[in-house]
Structure 1
Amino acid sequence: MTVEGTALESTSARRSHSPGDSYDNIEPWFEKLRTLSPCDEHYDDVRAEVIRLSLPLADHIARKFVGRGELFDDLEQTARVGLLLAVDRFDVSRGSSFLSYAVPTIMGEVRRHFRDRTWAVHVPRRLKELQVRIGPATEELSQRLGRVPNAHELAAELGVDLVEVTRTLVASNGYQANSIDAVSDDDRDTPTQPITESLGADEPCYQLTEDAIAVRPLIAALPEEERQVLIMRFFENLTQSEIAERIGVSQMQISRILARTLTSLREQALAERAPAREIGV
């Protein structure tokens, strides 16, 4: 069995680290590994120890992706492959921490696992292609900067527009769609419930807004007197008597103007909506 196989099949007891473990003890092992030739009889042993110490990190990242339609065993194996890549590529001489390099490397490998399987939503081809380039660029910048790069830095590194990078990062969430009937888990001390129960209800004001938008051009086309009567009645909240006094006519005339205008607006609005319903709008 290879050294990698031995390391990857370590027991859960060997894989467990305390919550406070920051992996600060990893760098000295890389320093030691750097001084050894791959042909040295101790090289494989040192590398295996580095992998063993880092396995909790890979397993932790794998758990972050649980619930997206993939088995944890597959995610764990993929994350560990990413860990092996990080161990073999990390250059301790650059002065950055192994953690800052390993995290984006492992996460990139897990994301590629989702990308290669399927996309649950339609994503433009150019974003898919850019997403493939973002992974290696993130790994390179993480080692160079000693931290995970932001979208501006990725855009500059790849020579692409910031908007495209941002869209690609957002599109990366489109690998797997979650059912709205699934139970949500917000990591708080609250009972879990289906996502449907947390969705908002239809807002009645939306229909009023649509009605206002539909009737606005009809109001604009009214004769000046009728339009002014409507504005004073429904926007300035004047009574019919106050409107009549301001215009210099009787209250009965204002009542007739309002009735005639509102009837006309209603008929025109309904006539415009009927064809839309007929074509399925």
Structure 2
Amino acid sequence: MQITVRTKQHPHDDAPDTAADFEKLAALPEGPERQALRDELVQAWLPMANRIAMGYRGRGESVEDLSQVAALGLVKAVDRYDPGRGNAFESYAIPTITGEIKRHFRDHMWVLHVPRRVQDLRNRVRTAVKDLSQTTPGHRPTVSEIAAYTRMSEDDVRAGFEALDSFTALSLDAELPGSDDGYALGDALGEPDTGFDLVVDREAVKPCLAALPERERTILYLRFFGGMTQSRIAQQLGISQMHVSRLLSGCCAKVRDEALAESEPESEPELEPEGARQPDPARQPEPV
């Protein structure tokens, strides 16, 4: 019995010898036999896919999900591999599985949608920070140092730094760093201030109120600023309560209409097209 001895160590010591199986798979037509052989090949190379997946653990994704994504990449590699090209299966499968994992991180792990170019900038900046931190311990690399190391512009480096914070999101209920009293991020956010709208409304109606007769202004002041009822206003002015009610309704409607009319943009007069104006009969020449 002749034993074949490998002179060069295989990149995966436990890689199965499936060259003949892949040639057989390529020659088989679609059917149960081909499907069974395909499943056996996927099962045989599954340990390699799991090892590749383990290289991406600790990046915000569970090990089980990484293994499933790597297995999906392995299935694609088995289906697309062509043994007639003369290349080993692992030389085609490893880039396919790695690309599937990277695509998963790019499409499913970002909380905010970031363009592909910015994602690449983020990866280059993250790698550069890691490399430069080893050469200059205790010193955080500056933007100019990273730009010189990666041959990127400083604007691209800043964009990469901003993308570093887009991979995950911080909850508004999360306690801020250094806060001992439970102060959360949501507590630092502002709320709509209705006081600004009140100032705008008051300035809008001020000239309208000034244009009212003195009696109407007095009634409005006593009702809305003095807090008096219509009956007390009627007693003080010596008129009926019904009259006070009508004056209040009329004043409010008038002020409202005038304020709204001033807030609307004035429409420009439409210009007649040249030659459309009718001639003046008075200037018509007398018939000869």
TM-score by length of 1: 0.39
Relative to the length of structure 2, the TM-score reads: 0.38
More relative contact order, 1 or 2 (CA 8 Å, 6+ apart): 1
Larger radius of gyration: 2
Higher helix share: 1
